[in-house]
């Protein structure tokens, strides 16, 4: 098990390129199963979850290789091979394979998907939505078996704007017979990217970017060159890293239009943010100011994936704050390690954490228990006196190409050991 060693209290300076989006790349990789011909995905992030998805595609007989233009995929020789259990159970995003394989093969037999332990994240919505499209599910010995003779278009109102369930319905609907209308759909940029990819391949999806999608099924999909957009969560991570170190950083290619609420919160805490032709320039304050209250929301609200980074920022800010988590019930696993580092924060119930800022944290050995919390502990190390060692870095590798390299190029004293 690897670890990251950080020696803190260095203001970040310079510029860093924002990698391709994890949350856009994974469903698009699943969507490649529906496409005939060659697909090139430019700017595809080289992260652990992408490598796991590539392994799944290869286990199904698909070609997936890194080439000069990015990731080259061809699924024409796909077979019905068995999905590798360790890849599926280790990555929640493998759930996208449900909709894609139903659309392509009419049948899926897989382990229950896994991933970070940040809450229950039940798949009931996924199963109910696909059931309305004529998919029959059976569970036996911990395995999920889904089958249909032909997915059928339907009208479905999502009880919650679940990103994953929206994307699963899209993947099944583009191969279904007739029209599918998804109401209450998630509006996240990653959903938009999936729709844009499929439309560029020949699909007919209307209402992209709204909460109501109309999908004409059964159209042939052909290979294309498609560029994965920059990762708004990585950009937000480095934005808060700049703030807590009183740094000055240009986030190259940051997706500013998808970060409006994050930028608003950062500016309310004292940061100066300016959009440029190259991306987003961030000037951190001498010391941030706590927002009185922040709650995570579905897009375009404040993203749950940046809640841990905001929490770290509040730990060293002036004043007090309450952060309310509305998406996942177990996002506060980072509270205990932050307390070890000297942060003054406490839980109020199960979904709210209260923070009273201190001037500095103190370096400790702490454990990453999930992806975003692990990255937030790296940020805590940046603002702590002495050395901080973060273990469990395999979680961080799931979403960041090389967080140590990126921060080191900005002047941080950080190494992977």
Strand partners, 120: none
Q: Is the pLDDT of residue 140 over 80?
A: no
Residue 226's pLDDT is 98
Residue 23's pLDDT is 96
**Which of 62, 116, 195, 315 does the annotation list as catalytic?**
116
Cis status, amide bond into 300, omega within 30 of 0:
yes
Tell me how far apart the alpha carbons of residues 259 and 241 are, in angstroms, rounded to a whole number. 16
Residue 329's pLDDT is 72
Closest CA to 230 of 256, 209, 249: 256
In angstroms, the Cα distances linking 279 to 17, 161, 381 are 9, 29, 26
Task: From the options 3.65.10.10, 3.40.50.1000, 1.20.1250.20, 3.40.50.720, give the CATH code of 22-227.
Answer: 3.65.10.10
Q: Is the pLDDT of residue 116 over 50?
A: no
Tell me how far apart the alpha carbons of residues 382 and 396 are, in angstroms, rounded to a whole number. 16
Mean pLDDT, residues 37-65: 94
Asked if 3-19+230-416 and 22-227 have one fold, the answer is yes
404 is catalytic: no
Q: Is the pLDDT of residue 91 over 60?
A: no
Tell me how far apart the alpha carbons of residues 356 and 14 are, in angstroms, rounded to a whole number. 30
Domain 3-19+230-416, second-level architecture:
Alpha-beta prism (3.65)
| Non-local CB neighbours of 247 within 8 Å, separated by 6+ positions | 11, 12, 13, 241, 282, 283, 284, 410
Mean pLDDT, residues 20-43: 97
Q: How would residue 112 be classed by pLDDT, with cut points 50, 70 and 90?
A: low
Residue 328's pLDDT is 79
| Non-local CB neighbours of 81 within 8 Å, separated by 6+ positions | 59, 60, 61
For the chain, the straight-line distance linking the first and the last C-alpha, in angstroms and rounded, comes to: 10
∠ CA 374-377-380 to the nearest 5 degrees? Answer: 160
Residue 89's pLDDT is 53
The domains of the chain are located at 3-19+230-416, 22-227
Give the model confidence (pLDDT) of 251-293 as tens digits: 999 999 999 999 999 999 999 999 999 999 999 999 999 999 9
* Residue in this structure with the two tokens 């159970």, named with its chain if needed: 89
| Non-local CB neighbours of 349 within 8 Å, separated by 6+ positions | none
Residue 9's pLDDT is 95
Strand (E) or helix (H) holding 299: none
Give the model confidence (pLDDT) of 336-390 as tens digits: 999 999 999 999 988 999 999 999 999 999 999 999 999 999 999 999 999 999 9
Q: Is the pLDDT of residue 93 over 90?
A: no
Q: How would residue 119 be classed by pLDDT, with cut points 50, 70 and 90?
A: very low
Count CA atoms within 13 Å of residue 98 on its CB side.
31
Tell me how far apart the alpha carbons of residues 109 and 30 are, in angstroms, rounded to a whole number. 15
CB 117 within 8 A of CB 369: yes
* Residue in this structure with the two tokens 């897009």, named with its chain if needed: 299
Residue 98's pLDDT is 87
Residue 352's pLDDT is 95
* Residue in this structure with the two tokens 């759930």, named with its chain if needed: 95
Give the model confidence (pLDDT) of 185-230 as tens digits: 999 999 999 999 999 999 999 999 999 999 999 999 999 999 999 9
Q: Is the pLDDT of residue 120 over 60?
A: no
| Residues written for the chain | 417
The average confidence (pLDDT) of the chain is: 92
Query: Phi then psi for 41, rounded to 5 degrees?
Result: -105, 105
Q: Is the pLDDT of residue 1 over 70?
A: no
Q: What is the pTM of this model?
A: 0.94
């Amino acid at each position: 098990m690897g670890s990251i060693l950080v020696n803190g209290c260095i203001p970040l300076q310079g510029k860093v390129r924002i990698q391709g989006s994890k949350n856009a790349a994974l469903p698009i990789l699943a969507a490649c199963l529906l496409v005939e011909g060659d697909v090139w995905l430019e700017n595809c992030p080289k992260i652990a979850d992408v490598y796991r998805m590539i392994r799944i595609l290869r286990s199904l007989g698909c070609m997936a290789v890194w080439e000069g233009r990015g990731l080259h995929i061809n699924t024409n020789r796909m077979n019905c091979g068995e999905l590798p259990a360790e890849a599926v159970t280790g990555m929640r995003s493998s759930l996208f394979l449900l909709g894609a394989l139903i659309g392509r093969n009419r049948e899926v037999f897989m382990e229950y998907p896994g991933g970070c332990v940040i809450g229950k994240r039940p798949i009931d919505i996924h199963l109910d939505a696909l059931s309305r499209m004529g998919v029959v599910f059976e569970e036996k010995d911990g395995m999920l078996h889904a089958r249909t003779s032909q997915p059928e278009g339907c009208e479905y109102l999502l009880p919650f704007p679940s990103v994953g369930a929206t994307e699963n319905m899209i993947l099944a609907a583009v191969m279904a017979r007739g029209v599918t209308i998804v109401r209450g759909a998630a509006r996240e940029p990653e959903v938009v990217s999936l729709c844009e990819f499929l439309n560029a391949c020949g699909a007919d999806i209307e209402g992209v970017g709204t909460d109501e999608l109309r999908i004409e099924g059964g159209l042939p999909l052909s290979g294309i060159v498609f560029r994965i957009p920059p990762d708004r969560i990585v950009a937000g991570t480095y934005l808060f890293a700049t703030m807590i170190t009183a740094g000055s950083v240009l986030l190259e290619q940051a997706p500013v239009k998808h970060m409006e609420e994050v930028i608003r919160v950062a500016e309310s805490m004292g940061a100066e943010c300016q959009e440029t032709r190259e991306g987003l320039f961030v000037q951190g304050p001498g010391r941030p100011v706590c927002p009185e209250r922040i709650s995570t929301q579905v897009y375009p609200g404040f993203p749950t994936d940046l809640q841990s980074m905001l929490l770290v920022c509040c730990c060293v800010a002036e004043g007090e704050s309450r952060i309310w988590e509305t998406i996942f019930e177990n996002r506060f696993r980072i509270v205990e390690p932050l307390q070890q580092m000297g942060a003054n924060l406490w839980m109020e119930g199960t979904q709210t954490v209260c923070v009273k800022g201190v001037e500095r944290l103190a370096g400790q050995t702490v454990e990453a228990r999930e992806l975003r919390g692990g990255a937030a502990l790296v940020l805590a190390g940046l603002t702590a006196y002495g050395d901080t060692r973060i273990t469990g870095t395999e979680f961080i590798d799931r979403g960041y190409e090389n967080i140590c390299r990126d921060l080191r190029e900005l002047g941080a004293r950080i190494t992977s050991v």
